[in-house]
Amino acid sequence: MTIFADGNLSSIQSSQFSGGAGGGGFSNQQGVWKRVGPREIRATVLDLSYDFETGDFLGMAVASYDLQFDKTFRTVTGTVEGKIYSPGIDPLNPGDAEPIDEFSDTFEAQRVVVDTSTDEEGD
User: Which DSSP string do the residues of 50-119 spell out, in sequence order?
Assistant: E-TTT--EEEEEEEEEEEEE-TTSSEEEEEEEEEEE-TT--TTS-TTPPPSEEEEEEEEEE------SSP
Q: Residue 21: CB partners within 8 Å, gap ≥ 6? A: 15, 49, 61, 82, 84, 101, 103
Positions of the chain with pLDDT under 70: 13-23, 119-123
Which residues are registered as beta bridge partners of 105? Answer: 80
Distance CA 57, CA 108 (A): 30
pTM of this prediction? 0.80
